[in-house]
Structures are given as structure tokens and as C-alpha cells.
Amino acid sequence: MIRTSQVHHCRECGSAPLVKNAHNRCGSQQYLCRECGASKVLLPKQRHSEERKAEVLRSLPGALLAAGTQPHLRHLAQNDHAVAKKNS
């Protein structure tokens, strides 16, 4: 069996000597750079952009009100819409 090893590089300084350094609160393995001392996750999870968040907030209240099948959620939809307007 042939094993291959990957060399990971620091996201801050680009150097190669990384060692495992605990887990963050999400459970992802963190690595410590021996050169610059940065402690980071190798491949961070992608988050949604601010534009995408705003788009979802704009579409959510209308969808909840249009459904009409969940009257207990109508006040939440109206409040979310008011918050979205206030933040715009």
C-alpha cells in the first residue's frame, strides 16, 4: 500500500511547519504554525455573504405570510420584515 502525505501551509505566513493544536468550539481541528504562531483551521467552513443573508431576510416574511397555514408565525414574519427594513 502506497501512502501519500500532504503538506499543509499556514494561511497567515505560508510556511509549512504546522502541528495539531486542539479543536475549536465547533469541533474542527486547529493547527499551530511554528513560524508565526497563528492557530487556525486548515479549511474553514464557508459562511454566507451579507448579500445572501439580506436576500433571505427579504424573502422570508412574504413567504410566511403567503403560506397562511401557520398563523402563529405571522407576527414573527412581520417583526422580521420590520427589522430588515430598519437595518437597510
DSSP string covering 13-62:
T--S-EEEEEE-TTS-EEEEETTT--EEESSPPPPPPHHHHHHHHHHHHH
Q: Does residue 1 lie in a domain region?
A: no
The pTM of this model reads 0.48
Number of domains forming the structure of the chain: 2
Residues 12 and 31 in one domain: yes
Cell matching residue 8: 499543509
Range of the domain at 65: 50-87
Whether residue 38 is found in the same domain as residue 11? yes
Q: Is residue 21 part of a domain?
A: yes
What are the pLDDT tens digits along the chain (88 aa)? 788 877 888 888 988 889 999 998 888 899 999 999 999 888 888 778 888 888 888 887 666 656 555 555 555 555 555 555 555 5
Task: Please indicate, yes or no, whether residues 18 and 36 belong to a single structural domain of this protein.
Answer: yes
Do 55 and 81 have their domain in common? yes
Residue 38 within any structural domain of the chain: yes
- CA distances, 79 to each of 1, 34, 88 (Å): 60, 49, 14
